[in-house]
Amino acid sequence: MDAGGGLSLAELYERNWRRLARLAALLVDDRGVGEDIVQEAFIALHRAWDPSRSEASALAFLRTVVVNRSRSVLRHRGVVRRHQATLRLEEGVVSDPADAVGDSEVVTALRSLPRRMQEVLVLRYWDDLSEAETAAALGISTGTVKSSASRGLAKLEKMLEGRR
């Protein structure tokens, strides 16, 4: 606790860093990059820190930053991959340096879904956020969360149906 009786930034970090790092790692499929994203999120929170801020509010801020920075990383990877495709023609195969978070069939199937569905499913079911919290973290409506989750689960079930 800080001197004013509220939650300190250090306590918030201690309680939530690991969970947020796993969330980021799932979103970007790279543990190290996920950890960097969470560090950046805490730096952003530190810059805007208000000791009277509730833990729920701080976590919502952190999740939003993690999701947005994860999107930026994925966009950057897309640009790099397009550039690498050009290089492959000239120099041969260029490997992808991403450090995979998991190789399970579920994670593999999840990766094949559209990005927004992946984000909704990871936040809603892995991070156990409510529909409203998921919507706030992604900057979308609750209805979009509901429909994306429903469609995403149906697609995952269909992809994994024959593998049980």
pLDDT tens digit string along 77-131? Answer: 877 776 665 555 455 443 443 333 445 788 888 889 999 999 999 999 888 889 9
pLDDT greater than 90 at residue 147:
yes
**What is the torsion angle, in degrees rounded to the nearest 10, for the CA atoms of residue 102, residue 108, residue 113 and residue 115?**
20
* pLDDT for the residue 102: 47
65 contacts 45 by C-beta, under 8 angstroms? yes
Amino acid type, 11:
E
Amino acid residing at 34: G
- What does the block give as tokens for 11? 């306590």
How is residue 89 written in tokens?
């023609």
Rg (CA), the chain: 18
Residue with tokens 């049980």: 164
Concatenated DSSP letters of 38-68 = HHHHHHHHHHT--TTS-HHHHHHHHHHHHHH
pLDDT digits (tens, 9 = 90+) for 40-82: 999 999 998 888 889 999 999 999 999 999 999 988 887 777 6
Cβ-based burial of 111 (10 A; exposed 0-12, middle 13-18, buried ≥19): middle
What count of residues does the chain have? 164
